[in-house]
Structure 1
Amino acid sequence: MGFHTFDAEQAERLERPDRYRWVSAEELIGPLVSAGLDVVADLGSGTGFYTDSVAPHVETVYGVDVQAEMHDLYREKGVPENVDLVASDVADLPFADDELDGAVSTMTYHEFASDASIAELARTIRSGGLLVVFDWTADGDGEHGPPVDERFAAADAVEALEAAGFEVVSESTRTETFGVVARAP
């Protein structure tokens, strides 16, 4: 399961407003705003579709993507002043211990889900900080997003996060996606 990286040659699909059908800006931003987070990483930021939604609500967003091509496309579109682009794998983030107040992942958990990545998030997100994850669910029919066999269920994400010491605040499964909000250890 997992580790499907989005094809950068199809990046224009990442800018379609119908993506909000699967994860709205409000449900992504809500936990960040209510927790008063200032420094957040967007894991698998791609062309910045969701990063742009987060940026007005925090002091700094690190747009983290393993594909430099995605950052190039984001720069062409225009990057908000409070967004810093970081080329990195989630398993090897260039942040100090407890540097982040939180992190978000929209439709990218399946690309990085591993014990090493989750341990790296536990290291870089300050104790009590939030991790907000929305991704394609293995319980979906697979008509949208990656193939079902490359997805995880909410229960898989919860189990992996709790094993790393995260405290799950909420979880939900919808038609094609799941959402998990967790506090860092």
Structure 2
Amino acid sequence: MGFHTFDVSRADRLEDESRYRYVSVDELLALFDPEGSVADLGSGTGFYTDDVAPYVERVYAVDVQAEMHDYYRGKGAPGNVEFVTAAVADLPFEEGALDAAFSTMTFHEFGDGAALAEIARVLADGGRLGIADWSARGAGESGPPLDERYALSEAVALAEGAGLTVEHGSERRETFVLRAVG
């Protein structure tokens, strides 16, 4: 898949409200039942992090690029956001530390068995994972090239391979969503 990062020099493009046509705030929140401590995996500029923050005690903005955190700080982050510079396959959280985790349009950048195993490790028993990402079955009208995307079935296989139980998944026109529990 992609395994690349978004070009920070184009970060302004991530602050585009047209992104909600692919995953709305309500749909995202329904994927992982926000509460307690939550991690936004691949938080980038904090576009969706800002939408989740009012519903949780703490949200960890996890991104592998410190420059994305600098951008997010510059635009202003809610007080309950904590910045974490780390790869998803190497999260600095204790086992079972997170009530939930989510990824919006970044799974294709980190999704593999090691990353899903790490997510499963840091989720509390019953903790939820919500993923919304570009689908390999899409038309390619937006987002990364089709060969850098996962199909829902591939994401499900990775989640189940890491010991997560997939409760819901749906493939849509350009994207897929997945809800799993640890």
TM-score range, shorter chain: over 0.9
TM-score by length of 2: 0.97
Aligned length: 182
Of 138, 141, 158, which residue of structure 2 is paired with 1:140?
138
Ranges of 4+ aligned residues in structure 1 off by more than 3 Å: none
Aligned to 1:112: 110
Determine the structure 1 residue equivalent to 2:29: 29
Identity, % of aligned positions: 57
Partners of 1:119 and 1:89 in 2: CA distance: 13
* Contact persistence 1:4–1:150 (CA under 8 A): no
Partner of 2:169: helix, strand, or coil? strand
Taking the TM superposition and a 5 Å limit, the aligned residue runs for 1:30-179 are 30-33=30-33, 37-179=35-177
How far the C-alpha of 1:93 sits from its partner, in A, is: 0.3
Deviation of 1:142 after TM superposition, in Å, equals 1.2
Aligned amino acid, residue 181 of structure 1:
R
SS state at 2:99 partner: strand
- Measured in 1, the distance between the counterparts of 2:66 and 2:10 equals 14
SS across alignment from 1:49: coil
Matched residue, 2:19:
19
Unmatched tracts of structure 1, length 5 or more: none
Which runs of 5 or more structure 2 residues have no equivalent in the other structure? none
Q: Distance in 1 between matches of 2:115 and 2:154?
A: 14
* Aligned residue in 1 for 2:4: 4
| Cα contact 1:14–1:47 (8 A) shared by 2 | yes
Q: Which amino acid aligns with 2:22?
A: W
Residue 3 of structure 1 and its aligned partner are, at CA, apart by 1.1
Q: Is the 8 A contact 1:4 1:146 kept in 2?
A: no
Task: Find the aligned partners of 1:55 and 1:66 in 2 and give their Cα distance.
Answer: 20
Query: If the length of structure 1 is used for normalisation, what is the TM-score?
Result: 0.96
